[in-house]
A = this chain, B = another copy of it.
Amino acid sequence: METFKYDAKGLLTAVAQDIETGQVLMVAMMNAEAVALTRATRQAHFWSRSRGQLWLKGETSGNVLDVEEIRVDCDRDALLLLVRPRGPACHTGNVSCFFTTLEENI
C-alpha cells in the first residue's frame, strides 16, 4: 500500500484536472479518509477545512467528479485527479474554479 506525506493537520493537496480538456478544475484538500473514499468509489471526496468535514464533491449539486486516474507527485504530498466532471466544478457555475485572471503586472 502506498503511503502519502500528509501535513501536520493530516492533509494533502489534490488538484482535479479534466481528463478530456486538460482544464484544471479545482484545488482542495484531502485527508486519509477522503483519499480512501475517492479510491474506493471513484468519485472525488475532499476535506473541507472551513466546515471541518469530509465531503463528496457534487453531493448537493450533483456535479460529481468521476475519477479515471490518480497520480501522486515526487514528494508524495500532492495528488492529481484526472476526472470526468458531470457538470461545472465550481459552486459559482463556472466550469473551473480558476476563472479569474490576474490583470495587473502579468
Q: Give min CB distance, A2 to chain B, whole Å.
A: 6
How many copies are assembled? 2
Is the beta-carbon distance between A74 and B102 smaller than 8 angstroms?
no
Q: How far is the CB of A97 from chain B (nearest CB, A)?
A: 4
B-side contacts of A17, CB under 8 Å: 24
CB of A69 closer than 8 Å to a CB of B:
yes
Report A41 CB to chain B, min CB distance, Å: 10
| A90, B71: Cβ atoms closer than 8 Å | no
Interface size for chain A: under 10, 10 to 19, 20 to 34, or 35 or more residues?
Answer: 35 or more
Contacts of A94 in B (CB 8 A): 74
Q: Does A26 contact B (CB under 8 A)?
A: yes
**Do A67 and B99 touch (CB < 8 A)?**
no
Are A101 and B13 in contact, with the CB atoms below 8 A?
A: no
A65 within 8 A of B: no
